[in-house]
Chains A and B, each alone.
Chain A
């Protein structure tokens, strides 16, 4: 057992923190207020190489592994959930699908510019009738010579409004369903037939784009089929597993920020003649937050280590996402309580954190779906097959 970070990961964390505090944090409030995606800052983030943190160096990545990616997400989550969401959708699921199942040519053509941040990715899975029930998608792809014609639409797509490349899941054989009937495609948003129908007005993560996409006779060349025809569902589920882990890392960063704010305020604010830190109600909140955060940190980086050493991790990734989002929600809730009225005003980051934190319990598979994944895995070991 060795729980220390390697020198390169320690150095990476320092680098990311420097970037996060100097470049991201100053924009966070403005992004939220103006409902604006900071593309310029995301481009600069790409120039440092960080958007390719976990991809191999031969495809323009850093090769810092899943641990490095978790560090990136933790540090971004600490200063701005919107940015962590943009980066998570880009690396963790959008580009990840290409990294996992793309062929060499696809990686050269698409993963390389994504890893360098020259292009931005999104992940096209959810549809209005297929949220938690992802296999129930309706977007169709029909073979026509050397191409596939896509028709349909996606909703709640993070980065949807500004992505250059979208990995899209579509039905290629309705008779087969999730097993054999769904295929993943790499779609360039510049192609004819692609359009953004609308941007959602969300409670939080307002600095990120969540869009509804429409495909009308969108022609995709056959070489853009990701993985094998009919195995798209597997590709997407693998990408989601990776994404879940790193959402846990982003939640860890958010929770850490909540704790830091709470401690700072408890040291400053005086009521009844003493700092709040001397009140046991406040001490309990701080102690609970800190304990949960440490437990989450151990979980996140243990799972990252499992990914990096090639062990199966799907069930634990679901735990990371679920537990992480709940720890972050509880932490920001307590930080808000400690701040009292100040925590309720939009002039202060706590209020934004409160709205932002809530999404993590919902997106990329609601926590209920994560619980199903966990329980299914546990019962499988005991010979029971769970149907959702």
Chain B
């Protein structure tokens, strides 16, 4: 057992934190109120190599190991959960799917511009009638010679506004398929943007695919491998979201602890009150527990193999910790926690999103249970 970060990882951690405090923190509130992801911030992140964080060097990625990637997400989310989630979507859901399942040509075509920030990735799986139940997809793909024709409607397409490339899932003759659909493909329309509770700088759009015709070469992976691609992407995203949750919770704790040591009531800083101490202590315990589980899961993912049990577990736990911690920290700050002029209100709204995006907590719990019962030869039906 060795729980220490390597020298390299520590160096990265410092660098990520510098970037977050210098570049993101001053803009975080304004970004949220304007509900925008500033392009220059993306460009700056790309210059640092963050947009190709886990991609290999041959496609101009930063070749971060999984633990370092988790440190990146944590650091970004400390200042803006929106920014972390937008990046996680780009990297974990789209770029890494291409790296893992794409052909040589696809990798060469898409990964360098993605690592560069020229092309932002969006993930289009959810549909109006298929949220948690991804097998109920209504979007259809029809093959026509060497071309594929996509028809359907997608909702909650993360990064829909800024994306240059959409990873679209559709039901084909041989099961679910995944396609790389560039934004300028005729028949693809980016529609309504959901006004959301939190993560207001992330765009969640409706996507219309109307006779969207592409070369069959844009299919990702083997015929019928869409389900596997979606699952693997989901596992990666679960870890990234958990890391973002950790950053959010840790920073909330930091902000509220600072407030508690400065705010005087009944003649003393409120930090002297046991009620406040309880909140802070509980939050710190949960943050540290999450950190341990998360880093371990990241290490496990780095080893390769199937880590879907651990990914679901850490996602559920992180969503809960982020929710609990921000909830308590709002309470520590009282009225100031509720005002939009202070960062805590935004963190509270953002935290709530983590229990639903990337698969709701209930679904991940079912996946955890499925692993437990699979060891006992019992198949769980959703």
Contact = CB atoms under 8 A, between A and B. Distances in A.
A282 B197 CA distance: 22
A130 to B, nearest CB: 8
Contacts of B276: 368
Contact of A132 (B194, B334, B341): B334
B373 to A, nearest CB: 15
A348 B74 CA distance: 31
A355 interface: yes
A279 B366 CA distance: 11
B179 interface: no
Interface in A144-194: 155-156
B340 to A, nearest CB: 4
Contacts of A132: 265-266, 334
23 contacts: A131-B334, A132-B265, A132-B266, A133-B265, A136-B267, A156-B335, A203-B339, A204-B338, A271-B133, A272-B133, A281-B365, A337-B362, A340-B360, A341-B131, A341-B194, A344-B196, A346-B195, A351-B196, A359-B338, A362-B331, A362-B338, A368-B275, A368-B276
Contacts of B196: 344-346, 351
Contacts of B155: 341
B50 interface: no
Contacts of B156: 341
Interface SS, A side: mixed
Contacts of A302: none
B25 interface: no
A103 interface: no
Interface of B: 126, 129, 131-133, 136, 155-156, 194-198, 204, 264-267, 273, 275-276, 330-331, 334-335, 337-341, 345, 348-349, 352-353, 355-357, 360-362, 365, 382
B361 A337 contact: yes
Nearest to B330: A358
A26 interface: no
Nearest to A134: B265
Closest 8 CB pairs of A and B: A346-B195, A133-B265, A203-B345, A271-B133, A201-B340, A368-B275, A345-B194, A281-B362
A346 B265 CA distance: 36
A299 to B, nearest CB: 21
Contacts of A123: none
B356 A341 contact: yes
A44 interface: no
Interface residues of A, number: 44
Interface string A128-146: 0111110010000000000
A202 B337 CA distance: 9
Nearest to B196: A344
A108 interface: no
Contacts of A367: 331
Contacts of B129: 270
Contacts of B334: 131-132, 362, 366
A310 interface: no
A337 B354 CA distance: 11
A362 B337 contact: yes
Contacts of B273: 368
A359 B337 CA distance: 9
B355 A337 contact: yes
B197 A355 contact: yes
B265 A272 contact: no
Contact of B136 (A203, A271, A279, A337): A271
Contacts of B361: 337
Contacts of B341: 200-201
- Most chain A CB inside 10 Å of its own CB: which residue of B132, B266, B337, B362: B362
A282 to B, nearest CB: 8
A337 B198 CA distance: 14
A279 B382 CA distance: 9
A347 B196 CA distance: 8
Given A201-B341, A340-B131, A368-B275, A345 B266 contact: no
Contact of A358 (B131, B194, B204, B338): B338
B338 A344 contact: no
A340 B338 contact: no
A133 B330 contact: no
Interface in A276-299: 279, 281-282
Given A271-B136, A358-B330, A202 B349 contact: no
Given A271-B132, A340-B356, A363 B335 contact: yes
Contacts of A336: 352, 356
A101 interface: no
Contacts of B195: 345-347
- Most chain B CB inside 10 Å of its own CB: which residue of A126, A340, A388: A340
Contacts of B357: 341, 344
Contacts of A270: 129
A344 B356 contact: yes
Interface in A370-384: 371-372
Contacts of A156: 335
Contacts of B339: 200-203
Contacts of B352: 333, 336, 344, 354
A361 interface: yes
A33 to B, nearest CB: 9
A57 to B, nearest CB: 36
A352 to B, nearest CB: 9
Given A337-B361, A341-B126, A354 B338 contact: no
B266 A388 contact: yes
B356 A368 contact: no
Nearest to B366: A281
- Most chain B CB inside 10 Å of its own CB: which residue of A136, A201, A362, A388: A362
A343 interface: yes
Contacts of A129: 264
A344 B353 contact: yes
A271 to B, nearest CB: 4
A347 B204 CA distance: 13
B338 A202 contact: yes
Interface string A1-45: 000000000000000000000000000000000000000000000
Contact of A203 (B267, B348, B365, B382): B348
Contacts of A372: 275
A368 B280 CA distance: 14
Given A131-B265, A203-B339, A344 B330 contact: no
Given A341-B126, A362-B331, A133 B360 contact: no
Contacts of A347: 194-195
